[in-house]
Structure 1
Amino acid sequence: MPAIEGFAIGLSMIIPIGAQNAFVLSNGIRRRHRLPIALSCAVSDMLLIGLGVAGAGALISSHPLLVDIARWGGVAFLLWYGLATLKRAWQGESMRLEGDDGRTLGMVLLTTLAVTWLNPHVYLDTVVLLGGLAAQQPDHSRYLFGAGAISASFVWFFSLAYGARLLAPLFTRPAAWRVLDLAVATIMFALAARLVLG
C-alpha cells in the first residue's frame, strides 16, 4: 500500500538525529512549548512533502542559485545555533527542567522555523527525495504515498516532543544538561561542515 510505504520511508528519513530533532528533544525534556514546536515541525514537513508530491523538487534542482542561498543560510544558522548551545553549556543556563528561560513563544517558534526552513537537507529529504519517490507511484497513489509520509512526520515529532519527558529523571543532574548541549552543538557544527563541504 502506498500510504504504508510513504509512512515507512518518511519515518526512516525523519528519525536520524539532526538539527530539528535535537531542538525538539531538548525542549521536550524541558517541557517547554512542546505542542507549538511539534506542530510547527510537522506542519512544515507537511507543506514541504506536499510541494514534493506536486513536483516542486525538479524546479528546485534546476535552479542552483536557490540551492546555494539555502546552503549558506543554513551554514550561518547552524553555526549561530551551535555557538548559542555551547554558551548555554558553559554557563549552565539549561540546567532547569521547568520554569522561565526568558524565551517567549514567538522566539521559540522563530527558532523552530529556522531550524526547519534554513536546513537545506530538509528540502532534499522532503521535496526532492520523497517527491521523487511519490512521482514513481502509479496513478493517484502518489498522494497516498505523500499522506503516509506526512503522517510519519506528525507521529514522530509529537512522540519526540512528548516522549522526551521520559528522559527528564536523567536530566536532574547538571552534567547531563551539559552533555546534551555539547552533543547538540556538535551536531550543529557537523551539519554546517557538511554543508560547507557540499
Structure 2
Amino acid sequence: MDIFLQGLTIGLAYLAPIGAQNLFVINTALNAPLGTALATAGIVACFDISLALACFWGIGLIIEHSLLLQKALLCGGGLILLYLAWQLMHAQIEANASDENKPTLWQTVSLAFTVTWFNPQAVIDGTLMLGAFRSSLPADTATYFISGVITASCLWFFMLIGIFKTCCRKLRPSHLQWINRICGAVIFVYALKLLYIFWQML
C-alpha cells in the first residue's frame, strides 16, 4: 500500500502543474458541454497513462540489468526533478489559454495526443523521473507504484473537469501559480529522496 500511495502522490504532483495537458482540459471544462468535457478528460488520461507506461516499463526493462545505468538515472532524475521543482515554484501563468471551444471528437483526440506525446519535455521528464523511480524499487513492487501513477492520472483529469465546471470559473492566474508552487515543493522532496538513494549506492 505504501508503494501504491507513493506512486499516487508522485503521479498527482507530476500532473498538477499547469502545463499544456491541464490547460487543454481546463479550457474544455470552461467552454464545452459536460459530456464533451468528460470525454476529453478520459481521452487525455488514456494518452497520459500510455506515456507513463512507456516511460516506466520501457526504461525499466533496461535498467534492471545495469547498476551503472541505475546510478545514472537516480542522479540524473534527481537533478532533473530539482530543476523542474525550481521551475514550477518560479513559473508565471498566463491568463489566456485558447484552444477550440467546441472541438470535434477527432480534434479532441488529436489535440490530446499532441499535448501528451508531442511534448518533448514531458517525454524526457517522464522517462527520467519514472525510470529513476523504477530503479529505486524492488522488482516485486514496481506494479504497485505504476498502478498508483495510473490512478493519479484518472483521478486528476476528471477532478479538473469537476472543479472547473462547478466552482472555479473565475480562478485567477495567481491561484494557478500557487498550485505550481505546492507541486514544486512535493517534487523537490522526491528529488532529494532519489539523490539520497543514489548516494547510498555509491
TM range (shorter): 0.5 to 0.7
The answer to whether the 8 A contact 1:57-1:127 is kept is no
* Aligned equivalent of 1:19: 20
The answer to whether the 8 A contact 1:135-1:142 is kept is no
1:160 paired with 2:163, answer: no
1:71-82 equivalent positions in 2, closer than 5 A: none
Q: Distance in 1 between matches of 2:13 and 2:26?
A: 17
| Gaps in structure 2 of 5+ consecutive residues | 63-68, 70-93, 177-202
1:48 paired with 2:54, answer: no
For this pair of structures, how many residues does the alignment match?
140
Secondary structure of 2:139's match?
coil
Q: Counterpart amino acid of 1:30?
A: N
* Aligned equivalent of 1:3: 4
Q: Distance in 2 between matches of 1:142 and 1:58?
A: 11
Give aligned-pair identity as a percent.
29
CA deviation profile, 1:84-112 (whole Å, cap 9, x unmatched): x66x8xxxx96xxxxxx4x3221122112
The answer to whether the 8 A contact 2:56-2:131 is kept is yes
* Aligned equivalent of 2:78: none
The answer to whether the 8 A contact 1:57-1:131 is kept is yes
* Aligned equivalent of 1:109: 109
Q: Counterpart amino acid of 2:150?
A: I
* Aligned equivalent of 1:140: 140
CA deviation profile, 1:169-192 (whole Å, cap 9, x unmatched): 549xxxx9xx8xxx9xxxxxxxxx
The answer to whether the 8 A contact 1:11-1:153 is kept is yes
The answer to whether the 8 A contact 1:45-1:126 is kept is no
Shift in alpha-carbon separation, 1:113–1:55, aligned structure 2, 3 A: closer
Post-superposition offset of 1:131: 2.6
Secondary structure of 2:144's match?
helix
| Gaps in structure 1 of 5+ consecutive residues | 62-81, 95-100, 184-198
Post-superposition offset of 1:40: 1.6
* Aligned equivalent of 1:35: 38
Task: Name the Cα RMSD after superposition.
Answer: 3.2
Shift in alpha-carbon separation, 1:4–1:42, aligned structure 2, 3 A: same
Q: TM-score, normalization: structure 2? A: 0.59
Q: Distance in 1 between matches of 2:6 and 2:153?
A: 14
Q: Counterpart amino acid of 1:166?
A: T
Shift in alpha-carbon separation, 1:155–1:125, aligned structure 2, 3 A: farther
Moved segments of 4+, more than 4 Å: none
The answer to whether the 8 A contact 2:30-2:169 is kept is no
Q: Distance in 2 between matches of 1:57 and 1:122?
A: 17
